[in-house]
Amino acid sequence: MTRTTTFSIVAVLVLGLAAWYFFGGDTPELPLTASAPALPAEQQFIDLAGRLGAISFDTSIFDDPRFMLLTSIATPIVPVSQGREDPFAPLGV
């Protein structure tokens, strides 16, 4: 047998095994809906998430004069010059 024939046979076998692995088998598919009863922790999370959806915030604090007097204390970032384009190149290049 030549190398090409051996390679072709191995390639066909690998592709056949991959197809059997991905498309074959008797694994039952799980439903996409949550029809099974939830665990107590899951149910507690679902209930809490439902209650959090109804929360609203009073944004009138942003109209308060005391809030309007606040100033930013952010430090401006001064741009610095970049280094060499290629730090691993020999010096003088």
- The per-residue pLDDT for range 79-90, each reduced to its tens digit, is 988 888 888 989
Range from 8-12, 14-18, 32-36 carrying the lowest mean pLDDT: 32-36
Give residue 12's pLDDT band: very low, low, confident or very high (50, 70, 90): very high
- Distance set, CA 71 to CA 62, 63, 67, 68 (Å): 13, 15, 9, 8
pLDDT at 32: 59
CA–CA separation, 59 vs 68, rounded Å? Answer: 13
Tell me the average pLDDT of the chain.
Answer: 83
- Tokens 């439902």, located at residue: 50
Contact 38, 46 (CB under 8 A): yes
- The per-residue pLDDT for range 46-88, each reduced to its tens digit, is 888 888 877 788 888 889 999 899 999 999 999 988 888 888 9
> Which residue pairs, CB below 8 angstroms and at least 24 apart, start in 64-69?
none
